[in-house]
């Protein structure tokens, strides 16, 4: 059957763009903080700021005694949780190393390679459906990343800073897909675990490398930046990802580097090169193809049982409550087998093969 258009279809898109906006400020501000804070310590502080900040939000939420409508993580998700933390330890360290060896505008725009990494991992490892327009987007964004990575086209020498940023994007590509497998769970809990786990891991590495800083003011600002640009950003990213899937959420997240570039131009007065403008134009076209992809066909939902936040007005949750329950709530429930046709994204309810 043909489903009615979901009135909330723009909500996850808005959340993805909001997440990108919050993250977009991280590269130029991190560039300034790296003057006084070593790269690995900076990576640790960003995630610790996210974890501590969101843990505080969670405590306030518990004390307010609001009804829990999100599903908690369980031991069944442990492999994805551990992988997520390990990858999140590596990615920001490589990014901070890259930022220390290249301008923040270059690093900000090159961050879009995360879309390519996320999409390829989603396709080949997690079997997420990717259409023709997405493939065009992936190709264009890859080309743009190459333009940014090549330091001297005449000798084909590569910028080590750009390569570090690309490695960070590869780590985040795998991490985004691990997080996608957790996206039906409480996003606040996920960010706390991700932030504290990755932050502590990065801090241990920083101590082992003897990368310290006693500048309390810079450390405070790094923690605050971590809460805003990582904690809140990841929270909204996960909420968008549960609907849009890994690849598509990352395409909306492509606005983050452009925001970072804009801040770099205005605030840091960094120069603009011809290759930078060419890469920017290519990435804009690639992002356009990514966000305009439309996916619609007859598909089958096999019977399934799981727990997550849901409501009964989306044509996918038709089970009965006694007494009746209204609004969003969370509990273990069964999806009956059904066949229908509607526009959909590869969320965790639409993981069918093509």
What pLDDT is stored for residue 3 in this prediction? 42
Indicate whether 36 pLDDT > 80: yes
In Å, how far are 48, 66, 186 from 59, measured between CA atoms? Answer: 16, 11, 14
φ/ψ (deg, to 5) at 123: -75, -55
Strand partners, 298: 341
Q: Residue 174's pLDDT band (boundaries 50, 70, 90)? A: very high
More confident residue, 272 or 306: 272
CA torsion through residues 231, 10, 91, 166, sign? negative
CB 20 within 8 A of CB 254: yes
Mean pLDDT score of the chain, rounded to an integer?
79
**Which of 139, 137, 180, 133 has the alpha carbon at shortest distance from 294?**
133
Question: 51-65, 98-112, 288-302 — which is least confidently predicted?
Answer: 288-302
Q: Residue 6's pLDDT band (boundaries 50, 70, 90)? A: very low
Indicate whether 143 pLDDT > 70: yes
Indicate whether 117 pLDDT > 70: yes
Question: 79-83, 173-177, 216-220, 343-347 — which is least confidently predicted?
Answer: 343-347
What pLDDT is stored for residue 99 in this prediction? 81
3-state secondary structure of 95: helix
Indicate whether 337 pLDDT > 70: no
């Amino acid at each position: 059957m043909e489903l009615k258009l979901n009135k909330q279809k723009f909500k996850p898109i808005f959340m993805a763009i909001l997440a990108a906006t919050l993250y977009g400020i991280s590269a130029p501000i991190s560039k300034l903080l790296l003057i006084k804070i070593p790269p690995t310590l900076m990576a640790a502080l960003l995630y610790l700021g996210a974890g501590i900040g969101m843990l505080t939000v969670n405590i306030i939420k518990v004390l307010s005694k609001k009804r829990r409508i999100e599903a908690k993580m369980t031991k069944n998700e442990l492999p994805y949780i551990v992988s997520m933390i390990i990858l999140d330890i590596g990615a920001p360290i490589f990014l901070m190393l890259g930022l220390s060896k290249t301008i923040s505008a270059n690093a900000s725009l090159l961050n879009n390679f995360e879309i390519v990494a996320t999409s390829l991992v989603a396709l080949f490892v997690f079997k997420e459906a990717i259409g023709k327009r997405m493939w065009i987007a992936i190709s264009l964004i890859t080309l743009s990343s190459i333009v940014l990575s090549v330091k001297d086209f005449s000798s084909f020498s590569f910028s080590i800073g750009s390569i570090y940023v690309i490695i960070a994007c590869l780590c985040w590509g795998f991490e985004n897909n691990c997080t996608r497998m957790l996206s039906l769970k409480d996003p606040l809990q996920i960010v706390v675990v991700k932030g504290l786990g990755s932050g502590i891991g990065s801090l241990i590495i920083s101590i082992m490398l003897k990368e310290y800083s006693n500048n309390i003011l810079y450390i405070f600002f790094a923690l605050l930046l971590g809460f805003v640009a990582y904690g809140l950003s990841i929270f909204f990213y996960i909420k968008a990802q549960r609907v849009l899937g890994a690849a598509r959420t990352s395409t909306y997240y492509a606005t983050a580097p452009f925001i970072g570039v804009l801040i770099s131009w205005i605030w840091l007065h960094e120069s603009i090169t011809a290759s930078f403008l060419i890469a920017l134009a290519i990435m804009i076209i690639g992002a356009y193809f990514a966000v305009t992809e439309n996916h619609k066909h007859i598909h089958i939902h096999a019977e399934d049982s799981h727990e997550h936040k849901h409501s009964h007005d989306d044509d996918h949750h038709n089970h009965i409550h006694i007494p009746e329950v209204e609004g969003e709530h969370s509990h273990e429930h069964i999806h009956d087998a059904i066949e229908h046709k509607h526009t959909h994204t590869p969320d965790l309810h639409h993981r069918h093969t093509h």
